[in-house]
Structure 1
Amino acid sequence: MATNKNPSRRKRPTSRRKTDRTFQVLLASLFLLVFLVASLAVLTLVQRNRPQVAPPAVATAPSPPQVPAPEVPPCATVPEEKTDHAALQLLIERALWKGGVAFSNRNVVLEQGVLHYRLSGALPEGSWYNDLRRVLEQDFPSVSLEQSIPPGQRLTISMHKEPQVVLHFQPPADSQVMVPPRGKVPGPKAKIAIVVDDLGRDLEALRTLLSLDLDLTMAVMPDEPHTRQAAELAHRAGREVLVHMPMEPDSYPRNDPGPGALLLGQDPVEIRQRVSAMFEKVPHAVGGNNHMGSRFTQYPEGMRAVFEVMKDHGLFFVDSRTSPGSVAFSEARQAGVAAATRDVFLDNYQDVEAIARQLRETVKIARSRRQAIAICHPYPETLAALKREAAFLRQADLQVVPVSHLLQR
């Protein structure tokens, strides 16, 4: 019986059949894919060409006629700029002083919200009017100035077209001779003392203070790098020198008053020794005032020990009043030590305009009580304010004096 010795010949028909089936399946799949793509294209075309049917109308209520909103006139808007009357008044008064126009609080009257200045003299000549307008416009863009007819008699200064200040100039007639009534003596000048604390650290600040045409009182710290030199410079410039005496504050030890300070835990002997040492370190000192000391100045026993030394050396004391409970002034008077009390702190806020307002407050107090004492520090803002307001502090009815002129003995 013959046999086929080549097995590959027997398997070949099976392999060929498998290939044919695979080709048929691929061909069918390709046909089906083409059919699906064509059907999708036809459906898309039909959908695009279908006429759009409007939805059924829904009955709605007729809308009311549109009424245009009324127009708001420009003058009805609230201006963003706020009037700082104190700052406006300060600029005006500074310009008057610069122009040589003297006045006092008796010449200023508030009538129906408008300040009226009754000024003895004519409106300053030259560029004064234009300079005033330019200065005011820098801080108050809505300001306007209007002179009366004939010009020079009245100047109205308005904000947002509302009068704020009216300057009434009253020049004397040419034939009128200003003679004081017989037997009437001009009243005494109001006196102001300005004590500058914390000196001895920066000689440049001290030199700036000494260059001012103001009789300032210099309070020098006893343990600073330039203590002795600062006291010598102030004395040679003719300024009164105090020892700025470090004393314990309520916030001690968080706030340290410095080396050699007077503290509550010290006995009277140590307090007297420390006070004597302070005055030995500050040459030419004629008195003292407290540096900090909000706690120590409430301590009667300690202040009595301080004043024992000061009385023996003929020194006086100025209470800075860093605490409302201070007994320093009363204890000084009981000990027979000449004393005074601070009225105004000028630079609690280190801002030039704020310091200028405090200077004006000091002037008001001085005119009311005939004297006032202010205390400040050698901050850059304080130096700038004092330099700018020096002319204001030299008015005819004012006098800046050493603090020793205002003591109670």
Structure 2
Amino acid sequence: MQQPHHVIVAGAGPVGLTAALIIARAGVRVTLLEKRDRLNEASKASTFHAPTLAVLDHLGVLPAMLAQGQDVTHIQYRSTEQGILGEIALAELKHDTDYPYRLHLEQSRITPLLLAQLRAHPHADVRFGTAFLDAAPDTGGVTVRVQDPKGVHTLRADYLLGTDGARSQVRESMGLPFDPTPYPGCVLRVLADESLERILPGLRPISYLVNGDASASFLRMPDCWRIILRVPPDVDQAHAQSRAWILERLRQLVPGLAELPNILGQDVYSASKFVAGTYRAGRIYLAGDAAHLSNTRGGMNMNCGLHDAYFMATALVEGLRQGDQAIVDAAADRRHRVAADSLLPRTDAMVTGQATWLDNVKGLLGDPAQRLAFLRRTAMLDMAPELARRIDPVSAAA
């Protein structure tokens, strides 16, 4: 017999796949819509924090991620004048979480793992090449119009969850304005091979190097290094991607640098901040980039989106079981507060704190209590404290 309850999830990125899989595993019928004909393979977010690892472990994909990814156990700090200032071990979080580390892996590497699990589930209907058009909520549910190669159709469901990214059509159908505030300048991401380690011996998988206003982040990926450079507003984006500008910028940080490491590729992107005015309208809800955007420093926005997926999916299941929409509304309002009160202020502080960076780092390295508080914040444990430990499969689906 077909399950009477039905949830539609629009958008097959990591947030939508996570939400749909949690819903299906709880025994609720779910339809996942994706306008593309396949998963998005673009290079995007790549840092997974402890609460997110708990969700992915619960869904059974963490072992495969660990086999493919780069685990991060230390954060290293350097300055041009003083060299290696010190390191912080993420193992200091061992009493706070079952996941006292970070994982570096392209998000496009986890979406196939989630999709494989979802497609194997009897309660899941995955529809690629199916674009969300609009939705009309009422007291009993929501009617969704979609378009696929066969034409325009309507679907009926109890709830709709929009996880369709920054240009969300679901958010637009809710009548919510999209007015992101751009951060000044842009971000240059340079991919380099192991020759980077000859230039900067002893790099940790996360290393920060600062000289005055110039800074670089070095992230070890499974198959390369990512060098993250901030591009000032007065520098043309095309020029910023030239070898000459990259070398000039790195020489500010590594004086006397003779040549660049072997560059495998580079791209430039801008960053903006945004939080939707509300995450709900009737029986329509938002999660992930459809609901919030933040600066990329710290890798928090995608992680926050995956936390949205967990809390909204479990609330949808519980709301259906109890016949109480207030449960879902409360979860949406809570996730809105997390983004507005914690996510954006925290990522903003990372951008504006350059002037006091050196003093802050020395304070962290010399004060265990301050250091532990910092690790808890950067691991997002205070944003999702319930996810610090392994999630029991039974209680998560109850």
TM-score scaled by length of structure 1: 0.22
The structure whose residues are more often strand, as a share, is 2
The structure that has the greater radius of gyration is: 1
TM-score scaled by length of structure 2: 0.22
